[in-house]
Structure 1
Amino acid sequence: MTITQLYYVLAVAEHKNFTLAAEKCFVTQPTLSMQIQKLEDELDILIFDRSKKPILLTEIGEKIVKQAKNIVNEAGRIKDIVDQQKGYIGGEFKVGIIPTIMPTLLPMFLNNFISKYPKVNLVIEENTTEDIIKKLKNGHLDCAIAATPLEEDNIKEIVLYYEPFVAYVPDNHSVLEKAEIEISDLDMDNILLLQDGHCFRNGILNLCKNNKFFNDNHFQLESGSFETLIKLADEGLGTTLLPYLHTLDLNEKNKLKLKHFSNPKPAREVSLIYPKNELKIHIINALRDTISGVVRGAIAFHDVEIISPKSKK
Structure 2
Amino acid sequence: MRREELVDLNAFLIVSEEQSFTRAAARLGTSQSTLSYTVRRLEAQLGVRLLTRTTRRVSPTEAGERLLRTLAPALESIASEIEQLGQLRDKPAGTIRITAGEHAANRFLWPVLETLLPDYPDVHVEVAIQAGLTDIVAERFDAGVRLGESIAKDMVAVKISPDMRMAVVGAPSYFSAKEKPKMPQDLAHHQCINLRLETSGGIYAWELEKGKRELHVRVDGQLVFNNVSMILRAAMAGFGLACVLEDQVTGYLADGRLVRVLDDWCPPFSGYHLYYPSRRQSSAAFRLLVDALRYRR
TM-score exceeds 0.5: yes
Aligned-partner Cα distance in 1 for 2:287–2:222: 40
Match of residue 124, structure 1, among 123, 127, 131: 127
- Listed as ranges, the matches of 1:33-52 within 5 Å are none
- 1:18 corresponds in structure 2 to none
Q: Considering only aligned residues, what root-mean-square deviation do their CA atoms show, in Å?
A: 4.2
Contact 1:92 1:120 in 2 (8 A): yes
- 1:261 corresponds in structure 2 to 263
- 2:280 corresponds in structure 1 to 278
TM-superposed CA distance for 1:94, in Å, is: 0.7
Contact 2:105 2:129 in 1 (8 A): yes
Aligned-partner Cα distance in 1 for 2:116–2:282: 16
CA deviation profile, 1:129-181 (whole Å, cap 9, x unmatched):
43x22xx223611111112334536422222232222222121639x999xx9
Give the partner amino acid of 2:149. P
CA deviation profile, 1:49-99 (whole Å, cap 9, x unmatched):
xxxxxxxxxxxxxxxxxxxxxxxxxxxxx999835763x111111111123
Segments of 5+ residues of structure 2 without an aligned counterpart are 3-81
Matched length: 211
Contact 1:144 1:273 in 2 (8 A): yes
- 2:166 corresponds in structure 1 to 165
Could you say what secondary structure the match of 1:158 adopts? Answer: strand
Q: 1:242 to 1:229 in 2, by over 3 A?
A: same
Contact 2:209 2:266 in 1 (8 A): no
TM-score, normalising length: structure 1: 0.53
- 1:145 corresponds in structure 2 to 145
- 1:101 corresponds in structure 2 to 104
TM-superposed CA distance for 1:250, in Å, is: 4.0
Aligned-partner Cα distance in 1 for 2:150–2:84: 26
Fraction of identical pairs, as percent: 13
TM-score, normalising length: structure 2: 0.55
Contact 1:80 1:279 in 2 (8 A): no
- 1:82 corresponds in structure 2 to 86
Contact 1:142 1:279 in 2 (8 A): no
Indicate the structure (1 or 2) with the bigger Cα radius of gyration: 2
Give the partner amino acid of 2:206. L
TM-superposed CA distance for 1:126, in Å, is: 1.2
Could you say what secondary structure the match of 1:103 adopts? Answer: helix
Q: 1:231 to 1:216 in 2, by over 3 A?
A: same
TM-superposed CA distance for 1:203, in Å, is: 7.1
Q: 1:113 to 1:290 in 2, by over 3 A?
A: same
